[in-house]
Amino acid sequence: MKSAPKLAREKVPNEETSQVKRKLLGHAGASVGDETAHTMSLEHDPVSYNDAIAHPDAKFWKRAMAEELEEFVRKELFMEVGKPKDRCVVGCKWIFKHKLGPDGQVERYKACLVAQGFSQVKGISYNETYAPVTRYGTIWTLLALAARHQWHIHQMDAKAAFLNSDLSEEIYMKAPPGSDTRDSFVWQLNHALYGLKQAS
């Protein structure tokens, strides 16, 4: 199995640097050195790869990016191929987000790689878009039935759900910032990625 593209990955120490301690506010009963027990600073999430790696808590964002790339390899999302001369190559961008718990503390750092699908051409890199959605009436009906019959309701989240659908078109994407893909190579996508017309 292919190994994940290399991205600087550091172990998160138990004790943060003083700079990160000043940035992240601890609260009573929480360890400032515990990654899951931070209260988010008032600063916004990083808006680019360069912003994330220059951030005081860059080690967390690097770890989040590495986890995302490892998921891509596990799902066999892409193949590294030579850049085609006669095909449009879609760009990509990292999106960074603090995931907060019910008490307002940072539970995890999330990095999501999205394709810049606005550069896709209809009839070449996609044919149609279809987004299945649930009607509220259906949800209300299911909840009413569950209440009537005393059924147990469970909620689930499919991690990386978009990565489960296959692509029928040939889609080429630039390698993400921070990866070790060679300059003359791009990613040929095997499955839909966030941002593509096929994942709308």
Domain count for the chain? 1
Task: State the Cα–Cα distance between residues 19 and 196, nearest whole angstrom.
Answer: 38
**What average pLDDT score do residues 36-49 get?**
64
Residue 66 counted as domain residue: yes
Residue 145, domain member (yes or no): yes
Q: Is the dihedral of CA 19, 46, 90, 70 positive or negative?
A: positive
| Residues 108/65, Cβ–Cβ less than 8 Å | no
The mean of the pLDDT values for the chain is 76
Q: Is residue 185 a part of any domain in this protein?
A: yes
The encoded tokens of residue 5 equal 């593209």
Residue 6 lies in a domain: no
Of 200 and 108, the structure prediction assigns the larger pLDDT to 108
Q: Is residue 79 part of a domain?
A: yes
Residue 82 within any structural domain of the chain: yes
User: What does the pLDDT read at residue 118?
Assistant: 81
CB atoms within 10 A of CB 145: 10
| Confidence band for 4, pLDDT divided at 50, 70 and 90 | low
DSSP string for residues in 92-139: EEEEEEEEE-TTSEEEEEEEEEEE-GGG--BTTTBS--------HHHH
Maximum average pLDDT range among 68-72, 115-119, 148-152? 148-152
Quote the distance between the C-alpha of residue 106 and its chain's center. 16
Q: Is residue 13 part of a domain?
A: no
The CA-atom distances, in angstroms, between 122 and each of 118, 182, 191, 197 are: 10, 29, 18, 9
Q: Which pLDDT belongs to residue 64? A: 92
List, in sequence order, the alpha helices (H) in the chain: 18-23, 49-53, 58-74, 136-149
Write down the pTM of the prediction. Answer: 0.63
Helix (H, G, I), strand (E, B) or coil at 6: coil
Does residue 173 register a pLDDT over 70? yes
pLDDT at 31: 39
150: left (phi over 0), alpha (psi -120 to 50) or beta: left
pLDDT at residue 39 tops 80: no
Domain assignment present for residue 54? The answer is yes
Higher pLDDT, 166 or 172: 172
Domain hosting residue 105, numbered range: 18-199
Q: How confident is the model at residue 142 (pLDDT cuts 50, 70, 90)?
A: very high
